[in-house]
Amino acid sequence: MNDLKQLLFSLPEGEMKKKLDDYIAKIPEPMNTQFEERLTKNEAVQRDQSRRELISINLYPDGNITDQ
């Protein structure tokens, strides 16, 4: 670690700036900009609510007894 630190701080300023630019170029775009077909928040909330309405799971029986 100390060797890396000495190497980094012993470089001339122009070369350090070049290294920094190289590393910045390798950084990927943020995840929220990589998906162009993304829904707006309101659309996503509406879609989620409509999906939740379709799925109705009764955790407890309703009390009606039917003969089968």
Structure tokens at 15: 């070369």
* Calpha distance 36→42 (Å, rounded): 16
pLDDT of 33 higher than 70: yes
CB 34 within 8 A of CB 26: no
Determine if the pTM surpasses 0.85.
Answer: no
- Is the pLDDT score of 67 beyond 80? no
Torsion of CA 14, 15, 20, 26, to 10 degrees: 130
Q: What is the domain partition of the chain in residue ranges?
A: 2-53
**What's the pLDDT tens digit per position in 4-17?**
778 777 888 888 88
**CB-side neighbour CA atoms (13 Å) of 40:** 2
pLDDT band at 34 (very low <50, low <70, confident <90, very high): confident
> Is the pLDDT higher at 33 or at 23?
23
